[in-house]
Chains A and B, each alone.
Chain A
């Protein structure tokens, strides 16, 4: 009985994931417009692609503060560091990434707040 009540609750965050993590429009829109009808009949009609760590895939080990263009991909419009649940970056790389972004901010390569003018 306890297990039955638990399973829907574990399913729900998985369903909520793409809504909050709306970082990947292709998979989202593909899921919505694909069936044509109402977006969610059975609860999970959409397809979510597994996010992968960019640094692991491309084998980038050197995450450097000087590479502000690359770091810019992981900074939101507001200047915030994008959380890894949205970008899919793995934990060790996110750690280095956030350090690099903070260093870049200090030397005025990236903004603390707002977009770089």
Chain B
């Protein structure tokens, strides 16, 4: 069961950079131990929250892309919940959506090709088809 999840979480703004790195490292080791993989970690920096969360007005946003099954995410969420500096998190499954986007992209590319080709392809196929019946008719006759 391999799925891709996007995990965004907010830590309190007064957290030291080193502590944050340590937290990310522990999460990473935890995920790896249970057979998953963290594809990327993106620290999006400090941002003003749209509403107060645990009396904080700002937060440090971190975005992770995690690969693995649901059990791994469950464990990861549990871990975030008990980690005191983490004030909010959101997990979104992205592989299905990505599949859909790829499909649309493929469809658009193929349409582009069709619209671009006929100028070159249509004359090439037309002469190729034309001699074929001509060649067949003497054979049958």
A112–B50 Cα distance when bound, in Å, is 8
- What string of 1s and 0s marks CB contacts (under 8 Å) between B22-55 and chain A? 0000000000000000000000000011110100
- A110 interfacial by beta-carbon distance below 8 Å: yes
Enumerate chain B residues within 8 angstroms of A107, measured Cβ to Cβ. 8, 10, 88-90
Interface residues on chain A, number (Cβ under 8 Å): 17
- B101 interfacial by beta-carbon distance below 8 Å: yes
The number of A-B residue pairs with CB atoms under 8 Å apart is 39
Question: Contacts A61-B104, A62-B101 given: A108-B51 contact, CB under 8 Å?
Answer: yes
A55 CB → nearest B CB, Å: 12
Enumerate chain A residues within 8 angstroms of B49, measured Cβ to Cβ. 108
Question: Contacts A107-B8, A107-B10 given: A65-B92 contact, CB under 8 Å?
Answer: yes
Question: Contacts A65-B92, A103-B90, A103-B92 given: A110-B50 contact, CB under 8 Å?
Answer: yes
B78 CB → nearest A CB, Å: 18
Enumerate chain A residues within 8 angstroms of B104, measured Cβ to Cβ. 61
Q: In the complex, what residue of chain B is closest to A107 when comparing beta carbons?
A: B90
Taking a contact as CB atoms under 8 Å apart, the answer to whether B51 and A111 are in contact is yes
Question: Contacts A61-B101, A62-B101, A107-B8 given: A117-B92 contact, CB under 8 Å?
Answer: no
Describe A's contact surface by its main secondary structure: loop
Q: Which of A59, A66, A110 has the most CB of B within 10 A?
A: A66
Which chain A residues numbered 77 to 117 have a C-beta less than 8 Å away from chain B?
A: 103, 105-112, 114, 116-117
Enumerate chain B residues within 8 angstroms of A62, measured Cβ to Cβ. 97, 101
A59–B104 Cα distance when bound, in Å, is 10
A110–B88 Cα distance when bound, in Å, is 14
B residues sitting closer than 8 Å to A (CB atoms) are: 8, 10, 48-51, 53, 57, 59, 63, 88-90, 92, 97, 100-101, 104, 108
29 A–B pairs (Cβ distance < 8 Å), ordered by A: A61-B100, A61-B101, A61-B104, A62-B97, A62-B101, A65-B90, A65-B92, A66-B8, A66-B63, A103-B92, A105-B50, A106-B88, A107-B89, A107-B90, A108-B10, A108-B49, A108-B50, A108-B53, A108-B88, A109-B50, A111-B51, A112-B50, A112-B51, A114-B51, A116-B48, A116-B50, A117-B48, A117-B50, A117-B57
